[in-house]
Amino acid sequence: MIQIDDTLNPTDFSTKLSRFWEQSAQKIRLIDEQYDTAKGSPVFTVQGKYTTRGWTEWTQGFQYGSAILQFDATGDPYFVDLGRQKTVEVMAPHVSHIGVHDHGFNNVSTYGNLLRLMVEGKLPYNEQERNFYELALKISGAVQASRWTTTKSGGFIHSFNGPHSLFVDTIRSCRALVLSHSLGHVYQAEGDVKINLLERAILHMRATADYSVFYGEGRDTYDIWGRTAHESVFNTKDGNFRCPNSQQGYSGFTTWTRGLAWAMCGFPEELEYLATLEDAELEPVGGRDAVEAFMLKAARATCDFYIEHTPTNGIPYWDTGAPNLHKLGDYLDRPADPYNAFEPVDSTAAAIGAQGLLRLGKYLTEKGDTEAGKRYWQAGLTVLNTLLDEPYLSTDPNHQGLLLHSIYHRPNGWDYVPEGSPIPYGESSMWGDYHLRELALYVQRMGSDEPYYAFFNCLRKPSDEHKV
């Protein structure tokens, strides 16, 4: 399990963060100068060069969102100019994309971050520009909500696999729905029927908590606390749950650690968002107490599982049930080894999951549960401390990636395997690079006098703008 360092504080990271943002800037410029956009969105690296390959266009928002985060952290106008220009030029198709479950990735990372910076006063206030960002977020949330499957107990936003498929990843796309709702948008269907976007988001979160997360009780008596399944399969004829499954993990009965990390991050940040709502808004979905209870249970369970089933340095292997892990011996009792001969690590799960640990820790501390809050908080800082050093931080000026040892799709064999190695290692991904930047920005802000970093900061009232 993770050896949690209880001595770390956000202010301890100033030197590492300064080096990190220098490396990050160099990587963003390198991609901007060298990558051939005619090939599509950059997804992951092969021998240090970004290439495209994937199921759908789900990483372009991370590319330009990274530039926006770089500006947020450093104030260098080159990066916000790049992020703003590319958002206007190329992101519009992502707003209206009806074929993906990734609106919270592409559009909140670009339009959402730009709006947030304007509201926070880091960008000059421009009413028309603000309206442009808000319109994009409003439509994005509604388009995402249209991918709806009704079940016996509610419903969910289905994945690109089809209406039977609930992906654990999609918990982070609920951001698109709740932002659209809080910006005052009304999603209308046939006959002008008005559909509540907040209700759809919470129903999806509940389905994720009920079917993607396991608790070792009830239907899941055979399983253990906090494990997740990548995909949950439903019968679309009668709305009944059928079975767990996995696309990128080893099986439906093992835990693909990046899927676990999406849940770890998604539930705590939505708990933070709920605090911005009036109680009356939550009454149609069971009331505040019930909604917060199921979300907090899922957040704690997944974060507990991560701490208990991750090697001592906080970096997990790609799946906790990967078939050759046993050949590593007591792999949980020592730091993860990205260069081993049996199973790859996935550093992106660490970058995503660490943010969830930190947000849950802060949330619980503010609720008065200081002991548990400190455990999660310090675990998150421990993971970050590992990620900001080699061999995970890429320092090779010719490597376009920032976070090394990312795994995309092990079952499909999409990851580059170096000659002579039995496993992939040493490569980066656009989602990994983005989420490490997001994690670094989160901790940097916690160690300074800047506003708390949250996706819903873009919802502040006009009277609150420029209060940095």
Which of these, 175, 249, 160, lies nearest to 212 by C-alpha position?
249
Q: Are 265 and 356 in contact (CB under 8 A)?
A: yes
**Would you call the peptide bond into 391 cis, given omega within 30 degrees of 0 as the criterion?**
yes
Q: Which residues contact 18 (CB under 8 A, 6 or more apart)?
A: none
Pairing of strands 49-51, 44-46: antiparallel
- Residues of the chain under the 70 pLDDT cut: 54, 461-468
Domain boundaries along the sequence of the chain: 10-460
Give the pLDDT score at 468.
Answer: 35
Pairing of strands 231-234, 165-167: antiparallel
Residue 424 tokens read as: 């992939």
DSSP H or E segment with residue 241: strand 241-245
Give the pLDDT score at 173.
Answer: 94
164/243 Cα distance (integer angstroms): 11
Is the four-CA dihedral 33, 37, 43, 46 of positive or negative sign?
negative
Give the pLDDT score at 455.
Answer: 98
Q: For residue 132, what are the CA distances in angstroms to 92, 112, 175, 210? A: 11, 11, 18, 37
Q: For residue 364, what are the CA distances in angstroms to 172, 353, 359, 361, 416? A: 20, 17, 9, 5, 40
What phi and psi, each to the nearest 5 degrees, are found at residue 189? -120, -165
Give the pLDDT score at 133.
Answer: 98
Tally Cβ neighbours within 10 Å of residue 255.
29
- Angle at which helices 127-145 and 197-207 pack, to 10 degrees? 50
Give the pLDDT score at 241.
Answer: 97
Which of these, 66, 157, 49, lies nearest to 437 by C-alpha position?
66
What phi and psi, each to the nearest 5 degrees, are found at residue 5? -90, 105
Q: Are 357 and 306 in contact (CB under 8 A)?
A: yes
Q: Which residues contact 132 (CB under 8 A, 6 or more apart)?
A: none
DSSP state, 152? T
Compute the half-sphere exposure of residue 28: CA atoms within 13 Å on the CB side of its CA: 27
433 Rama sector, left if φ>0, alpha if ψ -120 to 50, beta otherwise: alpha
Q: Are 8 and 381 in contact (CB under 8 A)?
A: yes
pTM: 0.97
The answer as to CATH 3.40.50.300 being correct for domain 10-460 is no
Q: Are 176 and 103 in contact (CB under 8 A)?
A: yes
Give the pLDDT score at 352.
Answer: 98
Residue 438 tokens read as: 């997001």
